Homo-oligomer: A and B are copies of this chain.
Amino acid sequence: MINVLRLNHRIERDKRLTTHVALAARAFGADKIYYSGQRDKKFEESIKKVVEDFGGSFEVEFLGEPLKLIKNLKENGFKVVHLTVYGAELKGKIDEIRNKDILAIVGGEKVEPVFYKLADYNISVTNQPHSEVSALAVFLYEYFKGRKVRFGGAKKVVIPSERGKVVKS
């Protein structure tokens, strides 16, 4: 089971980025995204609409207090993986992490030191500045070894095609 926690969402600044984080989380195999910061019902609805159309059981939930979730999941055997450009290299850690239940944390402009401390792993996908979207996507891609994720109950299914758009509905 893979949960994602996106910290410090700001409606104005982050509306599209947090949507991209959530979509990448779903597309690359996470089960649920939690987010803290400002509650954003429009964001939640846009993700629920994608799930309705494209299937699967991905969930989204706002959290007033992310620390409680972290402690709770840790008590339930989850490993907390904080994705940060400052962290240890993914390559050296992924075998240890793979197949464990995971809470993957991504910032937020600034991540408070407590998250570095509570994390079982502070992991960098690259030590160059990039994006929480790419960090999460590549992390999940490696976690699942590029394996395709299945989405049941879809109203719309995109059929891979060399030319044009083929959508079965």
A interface residue numbers (CB < 8 A to B): 13-14, 16-17, 20-21, 23-24, 26-28, 50, 54, 85-89, 91, 113, 116-117, 121-122, 124, 126-131, 133-134, 136-138, 141-142, 146, 148-149, 151, 157-167
Contacts of A164 in B (CB 8 A): 86, 113, 116
- Most B CB contacts (10 A, CB to CB) among A27, A134, A157, A167 go to A134
Q: Is A126 a contact of B88 with CB atoms below 8 Å? A: no
Identify the closest chain B residue to A91 (Cβ): B146
Q: Is B126 a contact of A27 with CB atoms below 8 Å? A: yes
CB-contact partner of A23 in B27, B91, B122, B130, under 8 A? B130
CB-contact partner of A161 in B26, B50, B87, under 8 A? B87
Q: Is A130 a contact of B20 with CB atoms below 8 Å? A: yes
Q: What is the minimal beta-carbon distance from A160 to any residue of chain B, in angstroms?
A: 5
Contacts of A167 in B (CB 8 A): 86
Q: What is the minimal beta-carbon distance from A150 to any residue of chain B, in angstroms?
A: 10
Q: What is the minimal beta-carbon distance from A69 to any residue of chain B, in angstroms?
A: 21
Contacts of A24 in B (CB 8 A): 130-131, 133-134
Contacts of A158 in B (CB 8 A): 85-86, 124, 127-128
Contacts of A127 in B (CB 8 A): 157-160
